[in-house]
Amino acid sequence: MFKKIIGLFSSDLAIDLGTANTVVLVKGQGIVINEPSVVAIQKDQNSKKRILAVGKVAKEMVGKTPNNIKAIRPMKDGVIADFHTTELMIRYFIEQALKRKTFFSPRVVICVPYGITPVERKAVKASALNAGARYVYLIEEPMAAAIGAGLPITEPNGSLVVDIGGGTTEIGVLSLGGLVLCKSIRVAGDKLDQDIIDYVKKNFNLFIGERIAEDLKIKIGTAIQLKEELKTIISGRDQVEGSLTSVEITSEHLRAAMKEPLEKISEALLSVLEETPPELAGDIVKNGIVLTGGGALIRGIDKYLSDIIKLPVYVANEPLLAVTRGTGKALDQLDLLQQAAYEN
């Protein structure tokens, strides 16, 4: 009874703790935070660390910081590279989301990458509890992505979702409310950016940073041949001369640069399809597969994958927010979750 009363006053939270972006939804209010998972830390003379910025402001510092400031992506690669910073980040986002809006501690559902270890799961839970959460539930990314994309996961009908994020691509086969099969590979948006950096270096003798590579990917990147190829001018440091120069780069260059990581994603998808039990595979052939995550926005990625797997491929509505919406739906069903074996 008492718990129910508390529940009425607290603003429960759904958090998509992504390797690239963290999105927080407050029950009854919708999305209140959508920021890069980046923390800028400053070291003072005594080597004591303090947080300088979190989110967008911190991301803008990447590659531009003096020696005593470090912009860290604690969840990079889908593993918690840095527990302490991850904890600071989770606390910061929870505090921001709750600002003056509640006087009871919230219940929190956090979506974590499938690939994280039990120790990392514990650390995420502990961080949220330290930040004032009353209960913390974890949900796996492919599950949240499938719910958010509106797939009929509770039915005895196989669904397949591919979430292409920053650090990881997670491929899940779901049926009857459970993950039947899942594969997580460390090839996603960040790897595309890195391969663009390498390509530009090799082919144009030009050094560009991560942020420029990401901009290129978004602006002119494509997985398939375009009727009208795109182009843009980039500047960077000439590797030989050391001087600053500009070159023209096209979507064809980008396609070449991204070829290998995209192939890795399609290979992982093929291998999951091969391992899928035949009854569920039959459903997937009928229903097709759904893409979520920022990588679903790569030009032509649906057609590219569809040509390889010979099945229909759909991009979820607002793919960058699918996981958050799915985590939010899990929050609505918290009472069910509480009974089920979700508390992990």
Ligand X SMILES: Nc1ncnc2c1ncn2[C@@H]1O[C@H](COP(=O)(O)OP(=O)(O)O)[C@@H](O)[C@H]1O
Point out which residues bind ligand X (CB under 6 A).
18-21, 165-167, 189-190, 214, 217-218, 221, 293-295, 297-298, 320
Give the integer Cα–Cα distance in Å for 302 and 297: 9
For the CA atoms of 305, 306, 312, 313, the dihedral, rounded to the nearest 10 degrees, stands at: 20
Size of the site for Mg ion (CB under 5 A): 3
Pair type for strands 39-43 and 69-72: antiparallel
CB of 112 to Mg ion, least distance (A): 10
CB of 105 to ligand X, least distance (A): 26
36 binds, among Mg ion, ligand X, none (CB under 5 to 8 A by kind): none
Q: Which is nearer to ligand X, 106 or 295 (CB)?
A: 295
Q: Residue 224: what residue type?
A: I
Does 289 bind Mg ion (CB under 5 A)? Our answer is no
CB of 94 to Mg ion, least distance (A): 18
189 binds, among Mg ion, ligand X, none (CB under 5 to 8 A by kind): ligand X
Question: Distance between the two ends of the chain, CA-based, in angstroms?
Answer: 24
What number of other Cβ atoms are within 10 A of residue 160's Cβ? 28
Q: Which is nearer to ligand X, 27 or 73 (CB)?
A: 73
Does 143 bind Mg ion (CB under 5 A)? Our answer is no
Coil vs helix vs strand at 167: coil
Site string for Mg ion, 305-334 (x = CB under 5 A): ------------------x-----------
CB of 145 to Mg ion, least distance (A): 7
Helix (H) or strand (E) run with residue 55 in it:
none
295 binds, among ligand X, Mg ion, none (CB under 5 to 8 A by kind): ligand X
Q: Which is nearer to ligand X, 84 or 186 (CB)?
A: 186
Q: What is the helix, strand, coil percentage profile of the chain, to 5?
A: 45, 25, 30
Q: Which is nearer to ligand X, 158 or 328 (CB)?
A: 328
CB of 214 to ligand X, least distance (A): 5
In the chain, alpha helices (H): 2-9, 56-60, 83-98, 118-130, 141-148, 189-204, 210-220, 251-275, 278-287, 301-309, 322-332, 334-339
Binding site for Mg ion (CB under 5 A): 18, 165, 323
